[in-house]
Amino acid sequence: MDDFVFARVVHVLSVVLWIGGVAMVTLVLLPVLKQMASPKEAMVFFSNFRRRFAAQARLTTLLVGLSGFYMTFILDAWHRFIQWQYWWMHTMVLIWLLFTFMLFIAEPKSRKQTKTPLPQNITAQTFLDIQRKHLGLLILSLITIAGAVAGSHGWLIPGG
């Protein structure tokens, strides 16, 4: 298997694990937690779950970034970043930067600053707010994945 094919395999598998995990948290876990009788217990469970998922997400986002950079380098595809027909390249980088910031900087920093939220501040609305944020990121991620798959198979917006 040549290097490019290996990089693409790593890239796609890492995206599946990363964004698939985001989908599972958004569409399955958070709705269940929102309905639990004790919001405090739900937050404890979510915090423990998030810690384990964050480790997997950090690894997969790192692999996505390295493999994506490598494929762009090998293809010498830097020009795509100045052509709007390759809009998904821009959104891939944007999403990657956003999640990388959240996983490597914001989340660890917030964990150091606050041990756990105060029990009286945790409500079903807390989980609804978290779910809405995740849903926005998930929708943007899925649009980007659809654009990348279509575009990489030749379905480009005409022009330019």
Distance CA 61, CA 63 (A): 5
Distance CA 114, CA 108 (A): 10
| Cα atoms in the Cβ-side hemisphere of radius 13 Å centred on 155 | 7
Tens of pLDDT, residue by residue over 13-57, are: 999 999 999 999 999 999 999 888 888 899 889 988 988 999 999
Tens of pLDDT, residue by residue over 58-110, are: 999 999 999 999 999 999 999 999 999 999 999 999 999 999 999 999 988 88
Please state the three-class secondary structure of 81-93 as a single string.
Answer: HHCHHHHHHHHHH
Per domain, the residue ranges of the chain are 3-152
Burial 55-85 (b: 16+ CB within 10 A, else e): eebbebbbbbbebbebbbeeeeeeebeeeee
Q: What is the pLDDT of residue 34?
A: 87
Residue 156, Cβ density class (10 Å: 0-12 exposed, 13-18 middle, ≥19 buried): middle
pTM over cut 0.95? no
Tens of pLDDT, residue by residue over 110-159, are: 877 765 555 567 887 888 899 999 999 999 999 999 999 999 898 887 76
